[in-house]
Amino acid sequence: MKRIYVNEKWCLGCHLCEYNCAFANSGETDMVRALQNVKIHPRIRVEGDNQISFAVQCRHCDDPLCVKSCISGAMSVRDGVVHCDTDKCVGCLTCVLVCPYGAVMPAPDGGVIQKCELCTNNRFGEPACVKGCPNHAIVFEERGVQ
């Protein structure tokens, strides 16, 4: 299946992916309205220092520990995408306890978690972070490996 891959050599550390992610998941149609004077809570996070930077988001593992560890049955795999049913989630954070990538996080309003679902759960339909990456440091493609 198609996944997001990062090439840290090309990452500029500009954090645009974080803004595009926050916009895509805001439910707003206007980027300025979605982001102006708002503390963003993106599901993709840029890590790094002055020399190296790279973006981290859910890897949609073939053997997802978060899904298997979820105590409420809120997490599942839908067509390869690791999905959280926030109606069932109780925010216990067992997924945060087990995700080796640190890619699951509490949602800002508390109570449930949030994670990258490859924009299948918003109107964008495909990853907004990839589309907006100015240097193609993150790509969305089929590679047959994780």
Partner 1 sequence: MNYVIIGNSAAAVGCIEGIRSVDKEGGITVISDEPYHVYSRPLISYLLYGKTDEERMKYRPDDFYEKNHVKTILGVRAEKIDSGRKAVVLAGGDSIPFDKLLIATGSRPFVPPMAGLDKVEKKFSFMRLDDAKALGKAITKESRVLIIGAGLIGLKCAEGIRDRVGSLEVVDLADRILPSILDEAGSAMVRKYLESHGIRFYLGDSVAQFGPGSAQLKSGKRLTFDVLVVAVGVRPNTQLAADIGCKVGRGIAIDERSATSLPDIYAAGDCCECFDIAGGCERILAILPNAYLQGETAGVNMAGGSKCFDNAIPMNAIGFFGLHVITAGSYDGDAWVQSSEQTYKKLVTKDNRLKGFILIGDVARAGIYTSLIREKTPLDTIDYELIREKPQLMAFAREDRAVRLGGAKR
User: Which residues form the interface with partner 1 (CB under 8 A)?
Assistant: 3, 5-8, 47-49, 52, 54, 56, 59, 65, 68-69, 71-73, 87-88, 90-102, 104-106, 110-111, 143, 145-146
Min separation Cβ 50 and partner 1, Å: 12
The residue count of the chain comes to 146
Min separation Cβ 137 and partner 1, Å: 10
| Complex with partner 1: residue 34 or 54, whichever CB lies closer | 54
| Complex with partner 1: residue 20 or 94, whichever CB lies closer | 94
| Complex with partner 1: residue 34 or 98, whichever CB lies closer | 98
Beta bridge partners of 82: 77
Min separation Cβ 9 and partner 1, Å: 9
| Complex with partner 1: residue 31 or 65, whichever CB lies closer | 65
d(CA 97, CA 69): 9
62 in Cβ contact with 146 (< 8 Å): yes
| Burial classification of residue 130, based on how many CB atoms lie within 10 Å of its CB (0-12 exposed, 13-18 middle, 19 or more buried) | buried
Min separation Cβ 4 and partner 1, Å: 9
Q: E strands along the chain, which residues?
A: 2-6, 45-48, 53-56, 75-78, 81-84, 105-106, 113-114, 138-142
